[in-house]
Amino acid sequence: MISISKVVLKAKDIQGVVSVLKSGHLVQGPKVHELEKKFARLCRVKYAVAVSNGTAALHTALYACGINPGDEVITTPFTFVATANSILMVGARPVFVDIEEKTFNIDASKIEKAINRKTKAILVVNLFGQPADYNAINKIAKKHKLFVIEDAAQSIGSIYKNKESGNLANVSCFSLYATKNVTSGEGGMLTMNDKKIYERAKLFRQHGEREGMKYSYHGLGFNYRLTDILAAIGLVQIEKIISISKKRQTIAKKYEKTLSNIPSLILPTRANDRTHVYHQFTLRVKSGSKPSRDELQKYLKKQGIQSNIYYPKPLYAFNHISDAINKNTNSAEFPITEKLSKEVLSIPVHQHLTNKEVNYIISTIKNAYI
Q: Which residues bind ligand PLP (CB under 6 A)?
A: 53-55, 79-80, 82-83, 125, 151, 153-154, 175, 177, 188
For ligand PLP, the closer CB: 125 or 340: 125
Min separation Cβ 354 and ligand PLP, Å:
25
Min separation Cβ 108 and ligand PLP, Å:
18
Angle at CA of residue 57, ends 52 and 60, nearest 5°: 110
Give every CB contact of residue 249 below 8 A, 6+ residues apart in sequence.
275, 276, 277, 278
Min separation Cβ 290 and ligand PLP, Å:
32
Please list the residues that pair with 121 across neighbouring strands.
73, 147
Contact in structure between 108 and 84 (CB atoms under 8 Å): no
For ligand PLP, the closer CB: 324 or 362: 324
Dihedral, CA atoms, 95, 65, 56, 209, nearest 10 degrees? -150
Min separation Cβ 14 and ligand PLP, Å:
22
Min separation Cβ 303 and ligand PLP, Å:
27
For ligand PLP, the closer CB: 63 or 80: 80
- In the bound state, the residue with its beta carbon closest to ligand PLP is 54
For ligand PLP, the closer CB: 105 or 289: 105
The three-class DSSP label of residue 110 is helix
Min separation Cβ 370 and ligand PLP, Å:
34
Burial of 287 (0-12, 13-18, 19+ CB in 10 A): exposed
Phi and psi at 369, nearest 5°, equal -110, 15
For ligand PLP, the closer CB: 125 or 232: 125
Name the region of 104 (left: φ>0; alpha: ψ -120 to 50; beta: rest): left
Min separation Cβ 273 and ligand PLP, Å:
21
For ligand PLP, the closer CB: 25 or 270: 270
Angle at CA of residue 172, ends 37 and 165, nearest 5°: 80
CA neighbours closer than 13 Å in the CB half-sphere of residue 212: 0
For ligand PLP, the closer CB: 53 or 346: 53
Angle at CA of residue 323, ends 321 and 329, nearest 5°: 70
